[in-house]
Amino acid sequence: MKNLLPLFLIGVAMLCSCSNDDGVNLPAPYPEGFLGEIEFVKTFGGSQNDNIISVVQASDGGYVLMGSTGSVDGDITGKSSTDVDFWLLKTTPLGEVIFNKVYGGSNTDIAASLINTKDGGFIVCGYSASNDGDVSGNEGFQDYWITKLDANGTITWEKNYGFAGIDQALRIIETTNGNFFTTGFFDVSASENQGNDDGK
């Protein structure tokens, strides 16, 4: 018991020190004025599978939603086949549709991440099995597909990267010098046979 007494006293001292915040102000969990009340609820899409994976606020206060769609009806315009494509939707601050656009080719194109860019546009990454339409190339099966958009959702440039296997870009960031860094995974068994599913 004597050997346990110092441990007991240390534990009590730690509890006492934890109970005193020493004047430290912890940040509030929500912004000032946040009441947690629903302002509006909207649904968007068509008759096939449609999903949104990223939402960012545009410089005009509206919202830009990015996902993928297989629909050719409902809110989706400019699409004539049920293969899955990148899908971008721009709304007003109250959720009214300003425009929506689809990007891709004749095979499956899945969006994974969207961010604002310093020039006022957007960049999206994901993966593509297409080699036509908006997609300029394909190294085999699925490739990283990175698409740069202006503020109106028009493609300013696009790039694909990959090998003969499953290569999927999952996240993208803009660096301080205006370049972009993307991460995901690629099938290295199709690249010098060094293994499988390593980070890129």
Percent of the chain exceeding pLDDT 70 equals 79
Round to the nearest angstrom and report the end-to-end CA distance of the chain: 55
| Tokens matching residue 3 | 């050997």
Q: Quick one: pLDDT band at residue 14, thresholds 50, 70, 90?
A: very low
d(CA 188, CA 195): 5
Buried b (16+ CB within 10 A) or exposed e, 91-127: beeeeeeeebbbbbbebbbbbbbbbbbeeebbbbbbb
**pLDDT, position 78:** 87
pLDDT (tens digit, 9 = 90+) per residue, 146-179?
999 999 999 999 999 988 888 999 999 999 999 9
Q: Which DSSP string corresponds to 52-92? A: EEEEEE-TTS-EEEEEEE--SSTT--S--S-S-EEEEEEE-
Q: How confident is the model at residue 193 (pLDDT cuts 50, 70, 90)?
A: low
Scan for tokens 């409902």, then name that residue.
Answer: 74
User: Which of the two residues, 193 and 139, has the higher pLDDT score?
Assistant: 139
Q: What is the mean pLDDT of the chain?
A: 84
Here the tokens at position 10 are: 């240390």
Q: 6 versus 58: which is more confidently predicted?
A: 58
Please tell me which residue, 35 or 71, carries the higher pLDDT value. Answer: 71
Judge contact between 71 and 47, C-beta under 8 A: yes
Q: What is the mean pLDDT of residues 26-47?
A: 81
pLDDT tens track for 91-144? 999 999 999 999 999 999 999 999 999 999 999 999 999 999 999 999 888 999
Q: Average pLDDT of 58-83?
A: 94
